[in-house]
Homo-oligomer: A and B are copies of this chain.
Amino acid sequence: MDVVYINPFVRSIKRVFETMVKVKVRVGKPITRHDAYASADVSGIVGFSGDAVGTVVLSFPKEVACQVASQFAGTEIDEDHPDFADAVGELANMVAGSAKTDFEGMNVSISLPSVIIGKDHTVSQSKVSPRIVIPCECEFGAIFVEIGMEIKGAAKTAKLAAAGVNR
C-alpha cells in the first residue's frame, strides 16, 4: 500500500474525533503489518470498492470504546446498550467517508459498517497484505486505525501524479 494513501486517514481520524467526540487524537507512527493477529474488543469495519479496494478497521479496547461511544452519543452507553454498536459503526463510517473525500478524482464507494464486539477478537483481511496500522491515542486510551487497500492502475497513476510523487 502506498504511503500517500495514509494521510487521508490520519486527517480523518483527527477530524472526526475532534468534531464528533470532542477529543483530541494524537497519531503515532504508522506500522506495516503482515499478519492478522492483533486483537481488539470492539471493531468497526468499513469496506471500500471501486478505484480503491480494501477495508478500514477502527479498533478499541472495550473501556475506550464505551467512553468514546458515550461521549459521541451524549449519554452513557456501555457495550450492552442497544445504541452501542450503532455509535461505533457510525464513527467508523465517518472516518472512512471523511478519508474518501480526500481521494480526489477516484471513484470509490464505501460499504455500510459492520461492528464486531467480542473480547480479544482478531480481524484479518485475507487478501490485502501488508496493511498499515495507525496507532492513535486520545484521553480515553488507545484507538487503532488499520487500513488494507489496493488502488487500481489508472486511478493510482493519476493520484500519485497529483500528489507530486515520481516513480
Contacts and interface: CB of A to CB of B under 8 A. Distances in A.
A43 B115 CA distance: 12
| Copies in the assembly, this chain | 2
Interface residues of A, number: 41
B109 A127 contact: no
Interface of A: 35-36, 39, 43, 45-50, 53-55, 57, 82, 85-86, 88-90, 109-128, 148
Nearest to A88: B126
Contacts of A126: 85-86, 88-90, 112-113, 115
A113 B112 CA distance: 14
Given A53-B112, A55-B111, A85 B124 contact: yes
A118 B124 contact: no
A117 B124 contact: yes
Contact of A125 (B39, B110, B112, B148): B112
